Amino acid sequence: REGWLAGWLVWMAKLGNEKKAARAHDPLLRKDAPESAGNAEDSKPEGWSLWVWIGMLKDAYGSKILLTIVLVSHLCVRFIPVSTSIGYYLRDFGGVKAPEVQAYKAVARTPYAMSPLFGFISDALHFRGYHKAPYIAVSSLFAIGAYAIVGFTPVGVLSLKMILVGFVTMNMQMEYCGLLVRA
């Protein structure tokens, strides 16, 4: 037990030293940066702005990955609330009662519980050297089909099972893309 505690303390000390070293080289974290008690803008190094920071990110990572992160994070995951829309769709167009709607919503949200499996699959199986891009593209194509079928099919034509498969596919795409971009 004491060996474990000693190892943990050594690890914490190394972590603290690494943070100090990073702080010494990062102009935004240095102690000698000008500080002001009241204004947060005064505490930033001179010449710092949002555009400078975005330029630093672009130089470090490239514009393609930054654009992918923005599109997936804001358009796919935050802008399209599929998880909440299934309740309205089933209740208003399907005539499903509230307790059944809750059960169907739980089924439609199963892709969120399968995140570890999605991550394992994308890490273990790659396509032509790519681990993430093919999975994002394929799940997005399936989701586009699901959106088109559920959105443009007249009310009453699709069975409840097909509607549920469509919503599961939509949620799978959002979770898969969000997970792969965050990883």
What is the reported pLDDT for 36? Answer: 47
User: CA 69, CA 182: separation in Å to the nearest integer?
Assistant: 8
What is the reported pLDDT for 65? Answer: 80
pLDDT band at 24 (very low <50, low <70, confident <90, very high): low
What is the reported pLDDT for 99? Answer: 86
35-53 per-position pLDDT tens digit? 544 445 555 555 567 777 7
What is the reported pLDDT for 38? Answer: 46
**Percent of the chain surpassing pLDDT 70:** 68
Sign of the dihedral through C-alpha 66, 68, 70, 73: negative
Amino acid at position 21, single letter? A
Q: What is the pTM of this model?
A: 0.62
Q: What Rg do the C-alpha atoms of the chain give, in angstroms?
A: 24
CB 176 within 8 A of CB 135: yes
CB 29 within 8 A of CB 22: yes
- The better pLDDT of the pair 104, 4 is held by 104
What is the reported pLDDT for 46? Answer: 58
**Percent of the chain surpassing pLDDT 90:** 3
- The better pLDDT of the pair 172, 22 is held by 172
Per the prediction, the chain carries an average pLDDT of 75
Q: What mean pLDDT comes out for the span 13-33?
A: 58
**What 3 state SS string does the chain have?**
CHHHHHHHHHHHHHHHHHHHHHHHHCCCCCCCCCCCCCCCHHHCCCCCCHHHHHHHHHHHHCHHHHHHHHHHHHHHHHHCCHHHHHHHHHHHCCCCCHHHHHHHHHHHCHHHHCHHHHHHHHHHCCECCECCHHHHHHHHHHHHHHHHHHHHCCCCCCCHHHHHHHHHHHHHHHHHHHHHHHC
* Count of C-beta atoms within a 10 Å radius of residue 72: 21
What is the reported pLDDT for 174? Answer: 84
On the question of pLDDT at 1 being above 90, the answer is: no
111-163 per-position pLDDT tens digit? 888 888 888 888 888 888 887 888 888 888 998 899 899 888 887 888 888 98
What is the reported pLDDT for 13? Answer: 63
* Count of C-beta atoms within a 10 Å radius of residue 104: 21
Half-sphere exposure of 1 (CA within 13 A, CB side): 0
60-72 per-position pLDDT tens digit? 888 888 887 777 7
User: CA 167, CA 169: separation in Å to the nearest integer?
Assistant: 5
